[in-house]
Amino acid sequence: MSAGVLTMPVVVRISVGAKYGAQHSQDFSALVAHVPGLKVVYPVTPYDAKGMMNSALVGTDPVIFFESQKLYDIGEMFQADGVPEEYYEIDLSEPSVKRVGTDLTIVTLGPALYTAVTAADELAERFGVSAEIVDLRSANPLNYDLLVGSVRKTGKVLLVSEAVERGNIMQTVASNLTRICFDELDGPPVVVGSRNWITPAPEQEAMFFAQPSWLLDSVHEEILPLPGYQPTTNRTTGELMRRSRLGI
């Protein structure tokens, strides 16, 4: 409206996700990502959090900075030297490869990164499937170059976050990857999110938030059959249609 004359260097730091309890644990990243003009980031490692907070603070745009309180006791797992004491910045639009793989791309946003790591370990140990894990770190802005390179390499992509599946930002990413990588994909991208329910009490969170077994179920049912695997949940397209019809 001001033709770039006015700036709004505001960073809103918000804790979301599991461990808050009934109703309060919802992940509303898609809600704010839908608002034009907002930058929406969700780092989930200490190294990423520091670098992205620095970038957000020196910018001139409003940034919604999500964090998950359930990760406060998890140290840096992906940077061998830990978090540097000196100042550094991380481009808010750049995803990060957290694990290199060849058979399947798993794209994450938020704490689902750690769910994906557990699932990737099991895929490798039990089935010899090498999964590449890419953490978006940001819902908007988002540079697709790294994602496209990974998907073109593996031909298969699973996307996961702790937001409910309906309207999940991963649905947008999956749609865009389908358009960009259509010729290289062996099948459609698969999105795994939380149930389309009101967030339950902490004692029932394992029934609500995406679990490692859900990722394996989705890989087996919709992407790459796993020899001898027995699914624990129904991830078929028929079940997807049934839940959609019921609004759950």
Under the banding of pLDDT at 50, 70 and 90, the label for residue 29 is very high
Burial state string for 138-171 with b = 16 or more CB within 10 A and e = fewer than 16: bbbebeeeebeebbeebbbbbbbbbbbbebbbbb
Dump pLDDT digits (tens) for 153-201: 999 999 999 999 999 999 999 999 999 999 999 999 999 999 998 888 8
Task: Please compute the mean of the pLDDT values over residues 230-246 and round it to a whole number.
Answer: 94
Q: Max CA-CA distance within the chain?
A: 62
Instruction: Tell whether pTM > 0.85.
Output: yes
Spatial separation of the C-alpha atoms in residues 147 and 176, rounded to whole Å = 10
Element (H, E) at 96: strand 96-99
What was the pLDDT predicted at 118?
98
Residue 220: pLDDT band by 50, 70, 90 thresholds? very high
pLDDT at 70: 85
List residues with catalytic annotation. Answer: 24
- Sorted by where each begins, the domain ranges of the chain are 11-246
pLDDT digits (tens, 9 = 90+) for 78-131: 999 999 999 999 999 999 999 999 999 999 999 999 999 999 999 999 999 999
pLDDT number for residue 218? 97
How far apart CA 61 and CA 57 sit, in angstroms, is 9
Give the CATH number of domain 11-246. Answer: 3.40.50.920
